[in-house]
Amino acid sequence: MIAQVVVNRPLRKVFDYEIPAEFLKLLKKGHRVEVNFAGVRLGGYVVGLKKESRIKSLRKIEKIIDEDHLFSSRLLTVTREVARYYLCGWGEVLEAARGVSCSGKKVKLQPDEPFHRQTVFHKKLNTTGLKDVHRKKREDTIGKTASGEFKAFLYQPSDLKDKIDFYLRLIRGILRLKRSVMLLVPEVMAADSMFKRLELICPEETVMLHSRLTQREKDYNLRLLKEQKARLVIGTRSAVFAPLSDLGLIIVDEEESELFKKPDAPKFNAQKAALIRAEVEGCPVVLSSLTPSVESYYYALKRKYIFIGEKKKAPVSSKRAVIVDLRAEEDIYGRKSLLSFTLREKIEKSLKNKKSVVLLYNRRGFSTFIRCDKCGYNAVCPKCRMNLVYHYDKKKLLCHHCNYNAEPPKLCPECKSSYVKYSGFGTEKFESVLSRLYPASKVERLDVDTARPKGRRQKILSRYNKGDIDILIGTRILSRGVDFKNTGLIGIISADTFTQTTDFRGQEKLFRFLYMIINRAVSMKEIEIVIQTHLPTHFAIEAAVKMDRAGFYERELKEREELELPPFYHFNCINLRGKNEEKLIKKIKELNKIIRQEAKNYKNLSIIEAEPVNILKQRESYRQNIILKGKKLTDIYQVINKGLKLFKKSSDIFVTVDIDSLEYF
């Protein structure tokens, strides 16, 4: 007998190995095995079994690594299709999926184990008395497809309560059919929050899967799923490959989140992987978001997805959400400040009324730019070429890309002068400024730096929610988990940080950020919202303030069509990286020439090559992208496949393909 094996390498090939006599009765599809691959012992996965091979002399499988097979036939099909879509190795995808497959060791199920169930808040959820006829119709539509038909739905709730009510009713209906449900969320904190809300549906059959579980906890929960003792899984990106049997529904919460995209190879997106899995399993998939991605919204308009939800919502009173034109403030008062007079007045009013204040600013650190006024020296990371940021708490210069750190210079390293200037604002400096301006108030900061110790983020949020913090300053992570009940003011320090980027999704991200803040605050009658910007008439800001989702998507889609951007064109990258910059440039030019030549055979396909000056350096490696933009993904596949086949690879230059890329230059 012959085993067809794939290995964890960027190879889109299946290799034949002979099965030794002692393994014949043990080996199954989905088993992890050890093989001799090009003279190196590697772990591989058995994806097929057959009687004969065209290759006469075969190497033998050396070892069965796990007692039990890790992947069912359907999961093997799902991982194969994910690998095909993202042009990566099947073995690479299986290796990524192994994180949510049992380790292969038998785990004895003991209901009294400490990690058997997460802590539950036994608060009865009000899900009765819902009289929304449209909601009932949409639930019935999804429920009918759970019997074995694939359909994709785009659900746009009006608010958090509407979303949770919808999830509860939908999941209950699927579980009554004795089928299982998968709910994907973008991050661990969201998984914990969703677990607390949904576990009451079936407390003995709900498990979580995410990176903060220990391997033993993960193995235990996976064994429950595999043995069908749990039927509802709530998890992050890799949970899309969880070993659920008889899958009846997949929900992707916050489907637009970039956290669903794996940052390293294989670069798959769990949102797309969920669509693939639902099609293989023959079940419905619900993509859910208050502010869906522009691509998903477009697919709903084109009826590729079935749209569920309100298209418009009543506008917010302008008295509640105020847009402050920072240009006008600078002209009137002749100075630049991150705290406008309008915002300061609102802060003082809120504190006077014994209400807390939330201020959002999406830059960490104390000083974001360090330069010498005499010779022009800039403090940049030697590994990444990115600006170093001064952190006062640590008394260090830090790189926010690779975590490189250095001592802050007292004298300029280049000219030895004392004209070293620290400029720019981060949340750390903001905390210091606010503490001086409001000495009687308790000011705290919540960003990646203060949230990093385990449990620290939740402690800060808990103290704020109890009223122990008067002013809370933080980055975007602050927008999650805050209870706005005792909040009098939410201030967006600078809405411009979203548009000051090469990312064409900047406007979409700006709208989403503002909309989610305003949507959460709108039910609280006493909350005021101040949005500071140099672009007060920007359509994304105006649409968010009016809570006009349909209006924003209409305008954004029109612009993207004119500029030939997604969803009208596909953006895909071939990324090259290496330690030697000169060699990388040479290889980039070689591959670019080949790709351009191949692209000439296809219409509506163009190549965008970053200039050599734009070569990035991250973690001591130089990297650059060749971007392929085209209307048809199949044409792009052909060009990439042919181009890489003709390209003369080098052992010290690594090539990665990124389909539906979120990175560009």
Q: What distance, in Å, lies between the first and last C-alpha atoms of the chain?
A: 49
Whether the per-residue pLDDT at 163 is higher than 50: the answer is: yes
Is residue 467 within a helix (H) or strand (E), and if so which, with residue range? none
Whether the per-residue pLDDT at 127 is higher than 50: the answer is: no
If one counts every other C-beta atom within 10 angstroms of the C-beta of residue 249, the result is 26
Higher-confidence residue of 353 and 485: namely 353
Separation of alpha carbons 83 and 374, rounded Å: 54
Angle formed at CA 474 by CA 471 and CA 479, multiple of 5 degrees = 100
Per residue in 87-108, is it b (16+ CB within 10 Å) or e — as a string?
Answer: bbbbbbbbbbbbebbbbbeebe
CB 493 within 8 A of CB 522: no
Higher-confidence residue of 289 and 134: namely 289
Strand segments, DSSP code E, in 310-416 are 321-325, 356-360, 369-372, 389-391, 396-398, 405-406
Angle formed at CA 355 by CA 350 and CA 357, multiple of 5 degrees = 70
| % of the chain at pLDDT higher than 90 | 60
**What backbone phi and psi angles, to 5 degrees, belong to 443?**
-110, 130
Residue 3 three-state SS = strand
Sorted by sequence, the CB contacts under 8 Å of residue 252 that are 6+ apart come out as 184, 260, 270, 271, 274, 285, 286, 287, 288
Closest listed residue to residue 364, CA positions, set 533, 520, 478: 478
CB 614 within 8 A of CB 589: no
Q: Average of pLDDT values for 602-607?
A: 91
Task: Give the tens place of pLDDT for each residue, 482-520.
Answer: 778 889 999 999 998 888 777 899 999 999 999 988 888
> Per-residue confidence at 313, pLDDT binned at 50, 70, 90?
low
pLDDT of residue 560: 95
- The listed range with the strongest mean pLDDT (148-152, 331-335, 630-634) is 630-634
Residue 235 three-state SS = strand
Whether the per-residue pLDDT at 609 is higher than 80: the answer is: no
**What backbone phi and psi angles, to 5 degrees, belong to 13?**
-135, 155
> Per-residue confidence at 595, pLDDT binned at 50, 70, 90?
very high
> Per-residue confidence at 132, pLDDT binned at 50, 70, 90?
very low
Strand segments, DSSP code E, in 449-525 are 471-474, 487-492
Alpha helices in 563-632 (DSSP H): 581-599
Whether the per-residue pLDDT at 146 is higher than 90: the answer is: no
pTM: 0.89
- Burial label for 452, CB within 10 Å (0-12, 13-18, 19+), is exposed
Higher-confidence residue of 113 and 636: namely 636
If one counts every other C-beta atom within 10 angstroms of the C-beta of residue 201, the result is 19
> Per-residue confidence at 260, pLDDT binned at 50, 70, 90?
very high
Whether the per-residue pLDDT at 130 is higher than 50: the answer is: no
Task: Give the tens place of pLDDT for each residue, 188-205.
Answer: 878 888 888 877 777 778
3-state SS, 268-293, equals CEHHHHHHHHHHHHCCCEEEECCCCC
Sorted by sequence, the CB contacts under 8 Å of residue 137 that are 6+ apart come out as none
Least confident of 108-122, 469-483, 536-550: 108-122
Whether the per-residue pLDDT at 147 is higher than 70: the answer is: no
If one counts every other C-beta atom within 10 angstroms of the C-beta of residue 466, the result is 10
CB 104 within 8 A of CB 67: yes
Strand segments, DSSP code E, in 163-239 are 180-184, 206-209, 232-235
Higher-confidence residue of 418 and 110: namely 418
Separation of alpha carbons 32 and 67, rounded Å: 9
> Per-residue confidence at 344, pLDDT binned at 50, 70, 90?
very high
Give CA 377 to chain center in angstroms.
35
Whether the per-residue pLDDT at 411 is higher than 90: the answer is: yes
CB 89 within 8 A of CB 6: yes
Rg (CA), the chain: 27
Which amino acid is located at 514 in the chain?
L
Closest listed residue to residue 193, CA positions, set 459, 490, 458: 458
> Per-residue confidence at 124, pLDDT binned at 50, 70, 90?
very low
Is residue 568 within a helix (H) or strand (E), and if so which, with residue range? none
Both structure tokens of 352: 């006077």
Per residue in 379-411, is it b (16+ CB within 10 Å) or e — as a string?
Answer: bebebbebbbbbbbeeebbbbbbbebeeebbee
> Per-residue confidence at 615, pLDDT binned at 50, 70, 90?
low
Q: What is the mean pLDDT of the chain?
A: 86
Whether the per-residue pLDDT at 141 is higher than 70: the answer is: no
Whether the per-residue pLDDT at 125 is higher than 50: the answer is: no
Whether the per-residue pLDDT at 402 is higher than 70: the answer is: yes
Separation of alpha carbons 515 and 384, rounded Å: 34
Cis, peptide link before residue 567, omega less than 30° from 0:
yes
Alpha helices in 340-408 (DSSP H): 341-352
Residue found by looking up tokens 């999704």 in the block: 505
Whether the per-residue pLDDT at 128 is higher than 50: the answer is: no
Residue 489 three-state SS = strand
> Per-residue confidence at 139, pLDDT binned at 50, 70, 90?
low
Both structure tokens of 200: 């009451």
> Per-residue confidence at 330, pLDDT binned at 50, 70, 90?
confident
